[in-house]
Amino acid sequence: MSVKEKRELLYKSIDEIAALYRSKEVSPVEVTEATLELQAELEPKLNAFITVMGEEALQQSREAEGVFAKGETVGKLFGIPVSMKDIFMTKGIKTTMASRILKDYVPTEDSYLYNALKAAGSIVFGKANLLEFAYGAVHPDYGQCNNPWDTNRTAGGSSNGSASSVAAGIGFASIGTDTGGSIRLPSSFCGIVGLKPSYDTVSRQGLFHLSHSLDHIGPLTRTVRDNAIVLESISSRKVNYDSVFTGSIKGVKIGVIRSLTESIIHPEVSELVNSAIRQLTDLGAEVIEVEIPGIDTALEIAFPILLSEGSYHHKAWYPERAGDYAEGTVMNIKEGFNVSAVSYVEALEKKRAFAEKIDAMFERVDALVCPTSPSPATERDPSFEDTTYDFTQRTIPFNISGNPAITVSAGNTASQNLPVGIQFIGRRLDEATIYRIADAYQTSTGGFRRPPL
């Protein structure tokens, strides 16, 4: 098989690769080798990985090849190369959180997530780069992860290595975390599909928390259907999405969140998002405008929770090791210690009330829609101190409410050929509906577009 043919394999869907495995036209060894070769070639440009488990992955691929040779029945993710954000515990394998604090840390136990991926038979080949501790800054020891659409721009944060690598064809999926948009924003920047499932859909055991009240774990993939396959394998509750993908959204009622959509000031983002909304109507959906009181100030609810819980999880190292953090990270940790207990409890009460307000919206609609990000990929990572754009304004409300939210590409800007994301939000525990809508939309627009690497 030529290098070009091997590269083509890396952009196929999970179902397509699984079918090739079953027919014995392609081996898990060939696909894993191609994945590792592409990772090594692109790593200097992307800086997407902290740890690559090449030998372990090749051994797993040889074992998977033997299973397919015997014709055994296996799950959908069996033999599929995937990666994970370097924030999940992996026994005997470094888990750094992209921080000097834990640069040599080797856990003694596996996370739920890693165990779930292994149980599904997937080939976990690498641990992806991220913002330090999934907080608001790149640690200089690890460096910015770059965007495959323009390597002079960021892949976003904090699940940046996951988004960049999947968009580039390095692995068929990656697992990230999302506390305020950290799956959806880099997915939007890189032109892929990123799902933040309902709160606690994927167990957080063995995850290093940023904010345990807001943290979600979810998959980043190139297609919506691939995303559903991965979620089936890692979900803590039994789910199956085989019947979801009908291709039709006729009669589905979708509410456009007016304030989050009309407030976009970037003209190309606004144009692409509004075009995507019109496409939903063309596909047969009933699209209406809705208002959600208080959604524009959701950050005021989230920050006392995120900052105080974030500082709690760093109390073992701060202030003694303050100098080992990135500047932006330590600023946030310091600020969290200044949040009063009263402010924290008040924010939790407001969080519950806001979730009820979002729940009430689903008495009128089947799903909500809004832009994912106010702009395409920036040159550097957005931070809490960045006042130019509020990058989490359209994502963090649904961390507060715990609703599932998925981003899919709405197309690329004409001026710079950078992806723009559109986000669908569903009822709690109803990933199926937003999968159905996002898949119908993605299919109608021609599917995943490859970056020009």
Write 260-267 long-range contacts (CB < 8 A, 24+). Answer: 260/295, 260/296, 260/370, 260/371, 260/393, 260/394, 261/370, 261/371, 263/296, 263/374, 264/371, 264/374, 265/374, 266/374, 266/375, 266/376
What would the two tokens of residue 260 be?
Answer: 């989050």
Collapsed DSSP state (helix, strand, coil) of residue 174 = strand
126: which strand partners? 52, 83
Q: Which helix (H) or strand (E) is 370 found in, with range? A: strand 367-371
For residue 150, with 0-12 CB atoms within 10 Å meaning exposed, 13-18 middle and 19 or more buried, which class applies?
middle
Considering only CA atoms, which of 404, 18, 16 is closest in space to residue 235? Answer: 404
Residue written as tokens 């080949």? 125
Cα 15 to Cα 223, 247, 392: the distances in Å are 11, 17, 33
Q: Is 158 a catalytic residue?
A: yes
220: which strand partners? 174, 194
Cα 357 to Cα 178, 256, 261, 350, 435: the distances in Å are 21, 16, 19, 10, 23
Q: Is 103 a catalytic residue?
A: no
For residue 7, with 0-12 CB atoms within 10 Å meaning exposed, 13-18 middle and 19 or more buried, which class applies?
middle
Q: Which of 27, 111, 165, 182 is catalytic?
A: 182
284: Cβ–Cβ under 8 A, 6 or more apart, which residues?
248, 249, 250, 251, 252
Say how far apart CA 359 and CA 230 lie, in whole Å. Answer: 26
Say how far apart CA 32 and CA 250 lie, in whole Å. Answer: 40
303: which strand partners? none
Determine how β-strand 253-257 pairs with β-strand 286-290: parallel
Q: Which of 27, 61, 76, 85 is catalytic?
A: 85
Q: Where are the beta strands (DSSP E) in 372-412?
A: 405-412
Q: Which of 27, 61, 122, 158 is catalytic?
A: 158
Q: What DSSP string runs through 357-408?
A: HHHHHTTT-SEEEEES-SSS--SS---TT--S--TTTTTTHHHHH---EEEE
Active site residue ranges: 85, 158, 182
